[in-house]
A and B are shown apart, each in its own frame.
Chain A
Amino acid sequence: MEIIRIDSLSKKYKDSDYYSVENLSLQISEGEVFGLLGPNGAGKTTLISMLCGLVKPTSGSFTIAGLSYRESAMAIRRLIGVVPQEYALYPTLTATENLVYFGAMYGLKGKNLNQLVEAGLAEMGLSKFAHKKIGAFSGGMKRRVNLLAGILHDPKLLFLDEPTVGVDVQSKNAILDFLKERNQSGMTLVYTSHHLIEAQELCDRIAIIEGGKVIAQGTPQELIHTTQDARNLEDVFIALTGRGLRDAI
């Protein structure tokens, strides 16, 4: 059963000469880990931003669990969780204070909220830093709290925009293990990353985006097998998108 259905979705920013996302159609099934891969400026973040309700599409439509933002924005927001690329946390609040606040915004409260925060911090190995300010955390610790803030309310669908960027191997593994576990308990993950090996390991299906369009999609194995001389996802990526630099403003 599909949880996301995208039909001919396009986005052209006001001062831009080109479409960031152009006529893009895609279906993502419930329970999948779906990877959106592509070079810089391919349109991954714009696509996720539209799906999260942050950016208005220029044309086309999409539904989340059969709902559209136009009619059911609040219902969609209750279903989804968002882990942005930035550390979307208050640096002068402690880890617990941040998580309690964001959990409360989803309607969680009292003992239940406190238990969820404690359990989450324990699972991420951050219990002893629970009452330290986020500003003093390392990049990896912030990433883990950032992830927790997006899943405290146990969303049906979780959007992750490069959740492991700039972290050490230990933190990366902790994050990936945590995500796999959540996926096994039924959470759908939509994930962007530049770490192709990580994506190959984590994702059930992948769409490679270039110039705002899906240029290939399938399971990691399907993509590797259908690409000549490809031994892994990185080879597929280079074969499809080329070696040229993608600088754009």
Chain B
Amino acid sequence: MLYKLGMAIRKELILQSRDIGGLIILFVMPMVLLVTITMVQKGSFDSITGTRIPVLLVDNDRGEIAETVRKELGSTGNFAIVEEIGDQTLSEASAKDAVFRGDYQLAIVLPPKLSDDLNLHIKQNVDRVMAEFSYSDSDTVHAAAVTIQKKDVNLYFDPATQESFKTAIKSSIDKLIATIEKDKVYKVFQEELGVSEEAVFDQDQILQYREIGPAEGGAAIKPSAVQHNVPAWSLFAIFFIVVPLSINIVKEKSQGTMVRLITNPVPYTLFLLGKTFTYLLVSLIQFYLMLVVGVYIFPLLDLPSFEVGANFMQLSTMALFAGLAAIGFGILLGTIATTQEQSAPFGATFVVILAAIGGVWVPVFVMPAVMQTISRLSPMNWALNGFYDILLRQGSWMAILPQLILLLLFFMLTLLIAVLYDKKKRTI
């Protein structure tokens, strides 16, 4: 039986090696896809890792608030403040045009006299409080009782900007304004109390947060486009073998070779195992090619290198089991489908759906609750979580065992259904 299995694998390998188009689809296209997607996504991850997003600032205030905004936004490391375009100082109209044309994502317009009016507003409030406690004396200069109009800080967003980005910016600006107001209140109180030389209020925050991630060799591992994309798109490529594999089985039926194979003294399972071993080899080669691209090609393209670390065996095992799951599904589809017109579009579409609900494109945690539940049914999600456990969460073999078991069960279940379906459909 082993001899027959060996010959079946040999035949499949020869068939694969002579299908140039198939080889390109299996090996070249996933690498092109990986490089393209990573380069496209580099920007969004770079906000974490260094590159600054240019933000237009129109300063009609010309006071200390404008100075604070400039300083605070600049110091976050995420934004580069732009106040001139082509030697022209920005006006609200020119900033708006530049943003709405899509040249910039965001413009912040500070209204005139923002600092003065805020100072006045706070001074009025502090005066009122001091008067309540009878702290005010005859020397104190009271703020004039004038009505201060509300001030609008206008934000202009590129209409194509994603909602999550807008929310993050608005939250940053809110925080910035609250900080400025708080600082002002402290300052005015000090002035009113006549202790303006040295700060009497400790303005340092008592409550702080610290982000603590898993560390490898003492260095925190940051999620980057590369660490996300190499496993995610490798999985996508591995699962895409559903298409050529199902077509391969349908072809066996349509060209008549299946008739010959079924009438041979060989069980259908051996025929399927021949395909399983061959496509398992294909999926591992795909994975290693993706690793090679991540480790060696990315740095040449000015992308960060993919860090395999000491995880090579775990990554290979996860890729192997993901390959098994994909092969099981491909075999099932090829067994049930009667034409290539059925298997190819269905296989391709279904893989895209599995990728979508599996978290390859959009992280599962941002999906609606229903989709999060559904995503747990996607073998691509199991494998992706396994890869993240290994790469980003310092997962041990025990940590990835549940994912490996799920992927193996999926393979066994789909293979069993394929064998039973074939038996019911055809044989005596």
Partners in one complex: yes
Please report A residues at the B interface, Cβ cutoff 8 Å.
Answer: 50, 52-57, 69-70, 73-74, 77-78, 80, 82, 84-93, 97, 100-102, 104-107, 109, 149-150
Q: Which of A85, A92, A104 has the most CB of B within 10 A?
A: A104
Asked if A90 and B259 sit within 8 Å, CB to CB, the answer is no
Asked if A57 and B14 sit within 8 Å, CB to CB, the answer is no
Q: How far apart sit A101 and B274, CA to CA, in the bound complex (Å)?
A: 12
| Complex interface bits, B238-262 against A, C-beta within 8 A gives 1, otherwise 0 | 0000000000000000011101111
Partner of B265, one of A100, A106, A149: A106
Partner of A90, one of B15, B266, B426, B427: B15
Q: Tell whether A57 pairs with B428 under 8 Å between CB atoms, given A90-B257, A102-B260.
A: yes
Min CB distance B21 to A, Å, is 12
Asked if A93 and B263 sit within 8 Å, CB to CB, the answer is no
Asked if B257 and A56 sit within 8 Å, CB to CB, the answer is no
List of A residues within 8 angstroms of B259 by Cβ: 52, 54, 82, 84, 86, 88
Beyond known contacts A73-B428, A97-B11, A101-B8: 7 more, CB 8 A cutoff: A88-B256, A89-B256, A90-B15, A100-B7, A106-B265, A109-B3, A150-B260
Partner of A89, one of B257, B262, B426, B427: B257
Min CB distance B200 to A, Å, is 87
**Count of chain B residues with Cβ under 8 Å from any Cβ of A?**
24
List of B residues within 8 angstroms of A90 by Cβ: 11, 15, 255, 257
List of A residues within 8 angstroms of B426 by Cβ: 54-56
Partner of B428, one of A56, A80, A87, A92: A56
Please, which residue of chain A has its CB at the minimum distance from the CB of B18? Answer: A92
Asked if B255 and A91 sit within 8 Å, CB to CB, the answer is yes
Q: Tell whether A101 pairs with B11 under 8 Å between CB atoms, given A54-B426, A57-B428, A90-B257.
A: yes
Q: How far apart sit A89 and B11, CA to CA, in the bound complex (Å)?
A: 12
Min CB distance B4 to A, Å, is 6
List of A residues within 8 angstroms of B265 by Cβ: 74, 77-78, 105-107
Asked if B264 and A54 sit within 8 Å, CB to CB, the answer is no
Asked if B15 and A77 sit within 8 Å, CB to CB, the answer is no
Asked if A105 and B428 sit within 8 Å, CB to CB, the answer is no
Q: Which of B7, B8, B255, B260 has the most CB of A within 10 A?
A: B260
Please, which residue of chain B has its CB at the minimum distance from the CB of A103? Answer: B7
Q: Does B163 make an interface contact (CB < 8 A)?
A: no
Min CB distance B6 to A, Å, is 9
List of B residues within 8 angstroms of A55 by Cβ: 426, 428
Q: Does B87 make an interface contact (CB < 8 A)?
A: no
Q: Tell whether A101 pairs with B256 under 8 Å between CB atoms, given A53-B262, A77-B264.
A: no
13 example contacts (A-B, Cβ-Cβ < 8 A) are as follows A52-B263, A54-B262, A85-B256, A87-B255, A88-B259, A89-B255, A89-B256, A90-B15, A92-B15, A92-B19, A104-B3, A105-B8, A106-B264
Please report B residues at the A interface, Cβ cutoff 8 Å.
Answer: 3-4, 7-8, 10-11, 14-15, 18-19, 255-257, 259-266, 426-428
Min CB distance B14 to A, Å, is 6
Q: How far apart sit A150 and B257, CA to CA, in the bound complex (Å)?
A: 11
List of B residues within 8 angstroms of A77 by Cβ: 263-265
Asked if B261 and A93 sit within 8 Å, CB to CB, the answer is no
Please, which residue of chain B has its CB at the minimum distance from the CB of A50? Answer: B428
Please, which residue of chain B has its CB at the minimum distance from the CB of A81? Answer: B263
Asked if B264 and A87 sit within 8 Å, CB to CB, the answer is no
Please, which residue of chain A has its CB at the minimum distance from the CB of B428? Answer: A69
Partner of A107, one of B4, B15, B261, B428: B4
Q: How far apart sit A7 and B330, CA to CA, in the bound complex (Å)?
A: 40
Partner of A84, one of B19, B256, B266: B256
Q: How far apart sit A42 and B17, CA to CA, in the bound complex (Å)?
A: 42
Q: How far apart sit A149 and B259, CA to CA, in the bound complex (Å)?
A: 12
List of A residues within 8 angstroms of B18 by Cβ: 92
Min CB distance A104 to B, Å, is 4
Q: Which of B4, B8, B259, B266 has the most CB of A within 10 A?
A: B259
List of B residues within 8 angstroms of A102 by Cβ: 260, 264
Min CB distance B423 to A, Å, is 10
List of B residues within 8 angstroms of A150 by Cβ: 260
Asked if A149 and B19 sit within 8 Å, CB to CB, the answer is no
Q: Tell whether A86 pairs with B11 under 8 Å between CB atoms, given A56-B426, A73-B427.
A: no
Asked if A53 and B263 sit within 8 Å, CB to CB, the answer is yes
Q: How far apart sit A77 and B7, CA to CA, in the bound complex (Å)?
A: 19
Please, which residue of chain A has its CB at the minimum distance from the CB of B266? Answer: A105
List of B residues within 8 angstroms of A88 by Cβ: 255-257, 259-260
Q: How far apart sit A97 and B13, CA to CA, in the bound complex (Å)?
A: 12
Min CB distance A28 to B, Å, is 18
Q: How far apart sit A57 and B426, CA to CA, in the bound complex (Å)?
A: 10
Q: How far apart sit A149 and B261, CA to CA, in the bound complex (Å)?
A: 11
Q: How far apart sit A80 and B18, CA to CA, in the bound complex (Å)?
A: 32
Q: How far apart sit A85 and B256, CA to CA, in the bound complex (Å)?
A: 8
Asked if B7 and A105 sit within 8 Å, CB to CB, the answer is yes
Q: How far apart sit A134 and B8, CA to CA, in the bound complex (Å)?
A: 18
Asked if A93 and B4 sit within 8 Å, CB to CB, the answer is no
Min CB distance A100 to B, Å, is 8
